Chain A
Amino acid sequence: MISILVIFMFGSLVLAGSFEIDPNIWYSPLTAAVIALPLFLCYARILSLVPGSNLFDIAVTLFGKFFGKAVVLLYTLYAIFLGGVVIRTFSEFIRIVAIPETPQIVIQSFLILLSVYLAKSGVENIGRISRFVLPIILAITIFSVIIASTSVNFENLLPAFNADLSTIFKVSVFKTTFPLGEIILIASMFSSTEPWKKTSKIFIIALLIEVATLLTVSMRNSLVLGSPSISMYYFPSYEAVSISALGEIFTRTELLVGINYTLAGTIKMGICVYIASMGISKISNYEDMRAFVAPSALIMLFLAVVAAENAAEFFNLTNYFPYIALLFQLILPLIMLIAAEIKVRLNKPAEAAPQGTNNQGTGS
């Protein structure tokens, strides 16, 4: 599960550092982690309060059939939206860095076919492929840092603490919602029978791996490109590695970064398709979610096509993601947590009463 959580967050790594509000705040992953930690604990608590149920089941259990399914519908729409965004991001990435003349629908079609295949192969296979891919992605990230170390300028990290608190908060919230908080969707894939401490441990380990990687990538980009240049690129990580070379042997290593992005992005797309189809199957009371995999992917394709006229418009749209994420990552989970806590506390005396009666009966 840790692998899936980390890979899901890595899927947005392609946008790491692009269009920073203030590129001087290279330490923003750390401040984002401080905001994300309570959120992650909240998600883990929700899962452990209703054991054996995923987020969709929990919503129906807590709010009843009608309102529960309305919550499921909202999260399904969020998964579709996120999937559309990821597909568009990757088609833009591939188009900009590799094949600028090819129509985007060609790239998007291949991505759709791959994500449909991945989602249809089931959650176990998504888990297996995530476990296989995670070490590769981490190794490539470390290797890219070593390569980039030849062209670093430590003065680029300064001035580090120049920004005011409101800007730091703004950047941190952006980083929290995109990509850290997105893992609320993963909660709809899994159920937990473990106590809160064990479930939250999984979330915290995933958060630590993600934050460490984001911080490394953010520092590498700042050290190589410098703060004003970072905000000029759509994909600063790719640019940072492309200008670095280790002697004459390791050159053009940005291809590895491209592989990294594509691996994580494809899995993230597959997960989004899987969650969206799960949501539709839950709403329609039809057990076989695989029937809805291709339709979910096609809606994502439509969203990816219609999202924006060009790359500049699309990347401008990403600045508004935190506002959309607020409802799904903060408001709805908080309402669910409060409802779950109340339900558990109300059920406890009811469960204890018959037990007490039985004990009395046995004793007499």
Chain B
Amino acid sequence: MQEFAVCIVLYAILFTFDVVPQIKSQKWKPLWFVFLVYISTFVLIALIIFDIIPRHLNMYLVEAIKFIFRIK
């Protein structure tokens, strides 16, 4: 829960100092990407914090490298 609270604070700070000025200056073009990244990373990190997604990206990466380079 502590981790989730820290995550909310981080996103709030970044949103205030990064996204809000862009909205104020009406720079709409990059905002779709900015919102997409903010929402998707927040949801994914929350899912990881609550152990719904495992922290095992390295396993897939290592398996992929082993397969491509034929490492035993």
Contact = CB atoms under 8 A, between A and B. Distances in A.
A109 B61 contact: no
A320 B10 contact: no
Contacts of B18: 116, 293-294
A321 B61 CA distance: 10
Interface in B17-59: 18-19, 22, 27, 29-30, 33-34, 37-38, 41, 44-45, 48-49, 53-58
Contact of A305 (B55, B62, B69): B55
Interface stretch (A31-39, A168-176, A197-205, A309-317): A309-317
Interface in A285-319: 286, 288, 291-295, 297-299, 301-303, 305-309, 313-314, 316-317
B33 A298 contact: no
A324 B65 contact: yes
B30 A291 contact: yes
Nearest to B69: A323
Given A109-B6, A323-B69, A288 B30 contact: yes
Given A288-B30, A292-B34, A294-B18, A105 B58 contact: no
B27 A298 contact: no
Chain B interface bracket (under 10, 10 to 19, 20 to 34, 35 or more) = 20 to 34
Contact of B33 (A112, A113, A295): A295
A110 B47 CA distance: 21
Contacts of A317: 58, 61-62
Nearest to A120: B18
A162 interface: no
B57 A303 contact: yes
Contacts of B7: 105, 109
Q: Which of B7, B19, B69 has the most CB of A within 10 A?
A: B7
B32 to A, nearest CB: 10
Interface residues of A, number: 34
A308 B55 CA distance: 5
B59 to A, nearest CB: 8
A306 B27 CA distance: 32
A183 interface: no
Nearest to A281: B30
Contacts of A280: 33
A286 B29 CA distance: 8
B34 A291 contact: yes
A294 B30 contact: no
A116 B69 contact: no
B34 A294 contact: yes
Interface string A3-24: 0000000000000000000000
Contacts of A109: 6-7, 9-10
A359 interface: no
Interface in A307-364: 307-309, 313-314, 316-317, 320, 323-324
Contact of B44 (A284, A302, A307, A314): A302
Given A302-B44, A320-B62, A292 B57 contact: no
A306 B41 contact: no
A306 B53 contact: yes
Given A307-B55, A307-B58, A103 B34 contact: no
A165 interface: no
Name the residue in B14, B19, B33, B54 with the highest tally of chain A Cβ atoms < 10 Å from its Cβ: B14
11 contacts: A109-B7, A288-B30, A291-B30, A301-B10, A301-B41, A302-B41, A303-B57, A305-B48, A306-B55, A308-B56, A309-B56
Interface of A: 103, 105-106, 109, 112-113, 116, 280, 284, 286, 288, 291-295, 297-299, 301-303, 305-309, 313-314, 316-317, 320, 323-324
Given A109-B10, A294-B19, A299-B41, 16 more contacts: A105-B6, A109-B6, A109-B7, A288-B27, A292-B33, A293-B18, A295-B34, A298-B37, A301-B41, A301-B45, A305-B45, A305-B55, A306-B53, A307-B58, A308-B55, A314-B58
